A and B are shown apart, each in its own frame.
Chain A
């Protein structure tokens, strides 16, 4: 048998849908488990007006179980006459079994009386009303409302409920709505009930699909239909649709039967920057832009309506009018911005706060510019100094423009547009890509100047936030500092910037006014370390190797990665691994022993193994003074550790460290401490591997 629950709601916001469907499945599974009803599978699907749970292969009754209930201590089972005591008799009665059936079992606290009881399973049909009720009321939404007497808090009003078990209606009531077998057409197509005969997913999906207009209740099916109808419209004109993933997802959640409508718009709007037009289309009026093969914007839009393709011309004209009005607004903002220009915007930044206590965005621009120029110097990029200076100086200017005020997502891009209008081509590119990478895996800025400017801006933001103690905790990260830290790490690593994070942070902090209070800058390196660990893992490394790197923040990140590579290679080497094990042993011995300071006195050596070990240290410490940076160089240097293999093994075989003679014991500990220093503090702490 199967069971089916449909919650008929008024239009739920698209953003509620995915979390709701995920919760529905979990809620159903947990309740079935709680009620001991076995089942094959729970599925959840639906539209913004119907949330559906389908339980396949649900057992006709819940499982019987045997349960052991602990009672009083065993000595209270019977009295001296061999009769059950009032305590044990009462315990038996409470659990519904004769006292003769009580058993005594040993526990950690001595022997106790136990009652073994059988709990009979119940019929699924009798349990489903409660299960369905609790699934419906258990759903949580990002924002709730009330609308009827019971004051149930829900995303939107519930207007119908279906509860089916096989062909039988399961009666239950939530928020004044009692379940039956009725579902309803699309919202603009009346309330004539559609009767669902049986709890069967395929039959239910098919029943809705064959309505007029159809309801495509499975999201994946709706998505396919949407892409098909949108592409068909673009195809018919010889173009392709810009199938923006976010817009597709959103459209899937505000339609039950998507139908595309294609219209054209005036050519004059194509003189606007492309992203501005597509943003108006996608974000403001939820339409798909149309592109040619070269990805150039065409003067068409594809809107999606929910329902039928009747009266298409009038609907198209309506959409066209709205779109034209919105694009006219965009023209108005853009033209005003062009009249003002970047310098004027930058002046306006003086009136926009960066962070409480840390001045305006104008001051941030100035710091970013200085830091970017410092990076230029450090990376020997003198020839792009002018580009970097301009791009960094105006990087935030577009935040004061009309267009970015209206469309915040166009920050950076618009700055690039305005720079290009001033004839600054290279600068424009860097400014356009100032906020790159937009996600953890999306591309970095495409030019060197772009990367330096982007890096400078992000470090300044991180340093500023940490200075005022605005540090992300748990899921709280309103300024997306994790993403920015991720970006910093990626630029430093992928662009092989020859600057250490320690120097970069210090340089950036020094640009803040001297009296700035520091409420947490010391936590920034650890914050960045966590992102570095993730980035290295994504690049196929073992994050444990990073922990072994000594002074990771004093090295350029590419060098850190090289060292990590070398460590990974060496852990596969048998003799290196042997040294590694010995090093851990050395470390453990030292941890458990008394603290010693100084260096080992060779005159106190008694055994050849001690002398040999000392000789090994002296012999290779010269090599350690070379400054490696490539993986190969690190390999070479770390390979010198292998020289410790035999001396250490011999030492552990021949030498007893914890001897009663204090002088000898301390001297041996000193020798081991020297070994430890060498193996854990020169390049990498190999005991961390």
Chain B
């Protein structure tokens, strides 16, 4: 394949591949988040005993990383392709390598290197053990066996595979500028996203209202705890995600001091824990009722 797959074909190929591996194909979750791990499918999915196999594209927002669409490698919003499987299949490495082949990258013809990289998310109170995967020196995937989520030691263990879609596509299509990626065979990533990058950079760096953001953070926190108390962990968790995004926006705005930062991270972690606890309790209750 001389020019590599276009962006949407690549996503289709991954969807097709992981569907064949028994994953439920879910759609992106419609709340802003910094990484695919925040998606409730992953967050709640990893917490209990029942098997979970999911695959989805997840748009991620990193306000501080935006560059007005001027930087060939940096985006304030980009896509991750996320797979979670619980329990982790014994041949999961082999399955993953198969997915590379599915998008036109034959592992036998490249250097695929598994570099030790133990992941942790202080805001989710989560950690895992695994690798970042380098393809010919470039990081293309994060491969993690979750060990803890929201402070809970996990059993069974979920494996999370996160592909950096733009990077892989740039490699396959041999382009040096992310905006030159072919989205399909007629339009480019620029056509789809450049204006978005430009406008949101202005918003995140110049126009966002710091006082509003601080107020939203407070409101989200209150709302989250109130909902947790009622066992409504799903909307509660939406509020935790939103708070996390507003916090990222404040950071992009340069409105966060070092101690502010630590406080907010603790705040988000506590919310995540409260949601996880409400979820685990509701599952336990259901189990008791069933017995």
Contact = CB atoms under 8 A, between A and B. Distances in A.
B137 A149 contact: no
A315 B110 contact: yes
Contacts of B94: 190-191
A427 B87 CA distance: 61
A191 B91 contact: yes
A642 interface: no
Interface in A153-180: 156-157, 159, 176-177
A161 to B, nearest CB: 12
A305 B111 contact: yes
Given A11-B114, A13-B116, A311-B109, A147 B157 contact: yes
A114 interface: no
Interface in B110-153: 110-116, 118, 129, 131, 135-138, 145, 147
B155 interface: yes
A43 interface: no
Nearest to A159: B90
A322 B91 contact: no
A267 interface: no
Nearest to B100: A188
Categorize the interface residue count of chain B: 20 to 34
A267 B28 CA distance: 45
B20 interface: no
Contact of A315 (B93, B111, B129): B111
Interface string A333-346: 00000000000000
Contact of A322 (B115, B136, B155, B156): B136
A188 B93 CA distance: 9
A157 B144 CA distance: 12
A538 B168 CA distance: 54
A300 interface: no
A188 B107 contact: yes
Q: Which of B91, B108, B145, B171 has the most CB of A within 10 A?
A: B108
A147 B157 CA distance: 5
A180 to B, nearest CB: 14
B145 to A, nearest CB: 5
B155 A187 contact: no
B112 A188 contact: yes
Most chain A CB neighbours (cut-off 10 Å) among B90, B137, B157: B137
B147 A322 contact: no
A400 B145 CA distance: 37
B210 interface: no
Given A187-B112, A310-B109, A311-B110, A322 B93 contact: no
Nearest to A326: B137
Nearest to B117: A13
Contacts of A510: none
Interface string A495-536: 000000000000000000000000000000000000000000
A151 B91 contact: no
A147 B88 contact: yes
B192 interface: no
Interface in A290-336: 303, 305-308, 310-311, 314-315, 317-319, 321-323, 325
A318 B156 contact: no
Contact of A306 (B93, B111, B129): B111
Contacts of A157: 90, 145
A143 B118 contact: yes
Interface in B83-114: 87-88, 90-91, 93-94, 97, 107-114
Contacts of B107: 188-189
Contact of B93 (A10, A14, A323): A10
Contacts of B138: 318, 321-322
A318 B137 contact: yes
A148 to B, nearest CB: 7
Nearest to A188: B107
Given A306-B113, A314-B109, A323-B137, A143 B129 contact: yes
A325 B170 CA distance: 14
A148 B87 contact: yes
Contacts of A254: 113-115
Contacts of B73: 325
A187 B97 contact: yes
A145 interface: yes
B160 to A, nearest CB: 13
B110 A318 contact: yes
Chain A CB count within 10 A is highest, among B114, B155, B176, for B114
26 contacts: A11-B114, A145-B129, A145-B147, A146-B147, A148-B157, A151-B155, A156-B129, A159-B91, A177-B90, A187-B97, A187-B114, A188-B97, A188-B107, A188-B112, A189-B107, A190-B94, A287-B137, A303-B137, A307-B108, A311-B109, A318-B135, A318-B138, A319-B111, A319-B136, A319-B137, A322-B138
Interface of B: 73, 87-88, 90-91, 93-94, 97, 107-116, 118, 129, 131, 135-138, 145, 147, 155-157, 171, 174, 176
Given A187-B97, A191-B91, A191-B94, 12 more contacts: A143-B118, A146-B147, A146-B157, A147-B88, A188-B112, A190-B94, A303-B111, A305-B113, A307-B111, A315-B136, A318-B136, A321-B171
Counting from the closest, the 10 A-B pairs by CB-CB distance are A318-B136, A305-B111, A13-B116, A188-B107, A145-B129, A322-B137, A11-B114, A311-B109, A319-B137, A315-B136
